[in-house]
Amino acid sequence: MSGRRGPAAASARTRSEKKASERAVDIFTSYSPQTAAPRVRVGDWLRHLGIPGVWHSYAGLPNARARTLLANPWDVMAAEVHLRRTSTRSKRIIVSREATPLGIGEVEKRLLADAAYAAFDFDDAIFIRNSVGRRIFDCAKKFRRMIPAADVVIAGNDNLAEVAGRYSQRVRVIPSCVEPAQYVPKSDWGFRGEPVVVWLGSPWTEEYLLPILPAMAEVNKRTGAVLHVISAPRGVDEVDAWPFVKRIPWSPDRVAADLLSADLAIAPLTDTPYARGKCAYKLLEYAATGLPIVGSPVGANAAALERFDGIAVGQPDDWADALLMVIGESSSRRAERGARGLRMVQQHYSFDAWEDAWRQAALGES
């Protein structure tokens, strides 16, 4: 039989390619698609739904910090030119936090306003001046300019939605979600040696660990418990200085196994306006693994801890008692906490639970 394809096959392929193109979504972000916010809030959704995405990830840099931008001037210049030449007419787009770390929202406003359908998604308090760049370019003014231009604004929690609601009547709350099947749930909650406490995050959030490390030192002294920090290979020196800390480089291929090797998980936060914008993603990963959780009831953490039968700790001085309590519980009680977390993450924070809402908000589908 000949290997040639006839006109009908070519026509079918063209129709298929056209259909895929029509369904594609353009994503604008100042971060790499592999970094947490665009990956979790947009990329994972597109992969889950099988929808192609066209990424406009600014200069392709690992972050948008001032030092990184200054070290890559030609990449930054090329990214700015690309954004100003890019048309979004007849396209569906999602802006994840911002399209450029520079300016005060003019670029994002045009991209959002010109699109056939435009969603703006954010999962942090990006309107708070917590960095040099956000102070220089007046992030609050930028936020006020971007938000009204979107057809729908998707906020990661109620605190963020309340602020966005001051500038748009089209705000939807959709939490960050996980695919529970991608994690390996625990089946044994007994200890096989010294208890292993785990924290998962980025180098920029390791600062939240610092206030509770003295409490962790007390727990280590009394039980031998160690702390596994799953983060970048090089993080905060003050964290690594403690002898009970073991740093485990984060890897998408290893994170499920690294979580499974722990006995309980922690999620400390300092109660600040910026921290209240956090969306509790690490708690979802903990719950999908069946880990008992101890955390700060700040922002979205509060509801997640309650749903997952976690322990809420208000003050740094109370962390030692909370950790010792969970370590001292029976394995069956820790199993109960883990099993509840598994049920609740599927019910409240899974892609299946939020698929219809995300399609309507992010893609404009009815």
Q: Which domain holds residue 324?
A: 180-348
Instruction: Please give the single-letter amino acid code of residue 245.
Output: V
pLDDT at 21 over 50: no
**131 falls in which pLDDT band (50, 70, 90)?**
low
* CA atoms 253, 348, 325, 191: torsion sign: negative
Q: Mark whether 234 and 309 lie in a shared domain.
A: yes
Regarding whether 320 and 190 lie in a shared domain, the answer is yes
Query: Are 65 and 118 found together in one domain?
Result: yes
Read off the pLDDT of residues 68-106 as tens digits, 9 standing for 90 and up.
889 999 999 999 999 999 999 999 999 999 999 999 999
Residue 120 lies in a domain: yes
* pLDDT tens track for 298-349: 999 999 999 999 999 999 999 999 999 999 999 999 999 999 999 999 999 9
Q: Using the predicted structure, report yes or no on whether residue 6 has a pLDDT greater than 90.
A: no
Q: Do 248 and 277 sit in the same domain of this protein? A: yes
CB of 271 closer than 8 Å to CB of 241 = no
Give the pLDDT band of residue 132 (cuts 50, 70, 90). low
Residue 168 in any domain: the answer is yes
Same domain, yes or no: 332 and 355: no
Q: Do 169 and 199 fall into the same domain?
A: no
246 and 273 belong to one structural domain: yes
Q: How far is CA 180 from the centre of its chain?
A: 15
54 is a domain residue: yes
| Distance separating alpha carbons of residues 183 and 186, to the nearest angstrom | 10
Which has more confidence, 260 or 6? Answer: 260
Same-domain pairing of 147 and 209:
no
**CA dist 335 to 185, 251, 289, 290, 309, Å?**
11, 27, 11, 8, 11
**52, 166: one domain:** yes
In a domain, 2, yes or no: no
- CA dist list (Å): 80 to 85, 86, 285: 9, 10, 35
pLDDT digits (tens, 9 = 90+) for 197-206: 999 999 989 9
In a domain, 339, yes or no: yes
The tally of domains found in the chain comes to 2
E strands, the chain, are: 25-29, 53-56, 92-96, 117-122, 152-155, 171-173, 196-200, 226-231, 245-249, 264-267, 293-295, 311-312
Q: Note the pLDDT of residue 34.
A: 86
Q: Residue 3 — very low, low, confident or very high, per pLDDT cuts 50/70/90? A: very low
Average pLDDT over the chain, rounded to an integer: 92
Contact in structure between 109 and 143 (CB atoms under 8 Å)? no
Does 108 reside within a domain? yes
CA dihedral 301, 228, 260, 287 (to 10 degrees): 0
Tell whether 226 and 248 lie within a shared domain.
yes
Check which CATH number belongs to the domain holding 168 and give it. 3.40.50
Distant-in-sequence contacts of 83-86, Cβ < 8 A, 24+ apart: 83/28, 83/56, 83/58, 83/107, 83/111, 86/56, 86/111
Q: Give 162's contacts (C-beta < 8 A, 6+ positions apart).
A: none
Query: Looking at the domain assignment, is residue 88 inside a domain?
Result: yes
Q: Which of the four pLDDT bands, split at 50, 70 and 90, describes residue 134?
A: low
Among all chains, which residue has been given the structure tokens 């030692």? 320
84 belongs to a structural domain: yes
**How confident is the model at residue 49, as a pLDDT?**
96
What is the percent of the chain with per-residue pLDDT over 70, rounded to a whole number?
92
pLDDT in tens, 246-293: 999 999 999 999 999 999 999 999 999 999 999 999 999 999 999 999
**Same domain, yes or no: 289 and 327:** yes
Contact (CB, 8 A) for 292 and 334:
yes
* AA identity, residue 153: V
Structure tokens at 1: 């039989």
Sequence-ordered alpha helix ranges (H) in 272-349 = 281-289, 301-307, 319-328, 331-348
Query: What does pTM read for this prediction?
Result: 0.90
DSSP secondary structure of 182-233 = GS---S--S-SSS-EEEEE--GGGGGGGGGGHHHHHHHHHHH--EEEEEE-S
Same domain, 109 and 157: yes
Q: How far is CA 68 from CA 60, 82, 199, 222, 228, in A?
A: 11, 19, 26, 43, 28
CA distances 213 to 43, 262, 309, Å, are 34, 18, 23
- Identify the CATH number of the domain in which residue 223 sits: 3.40.50.2000
Q: Which of 273, 274, 313 is nearest to 294 (CA)?
A: 313
What was the pLDDT predicted at 4? 38
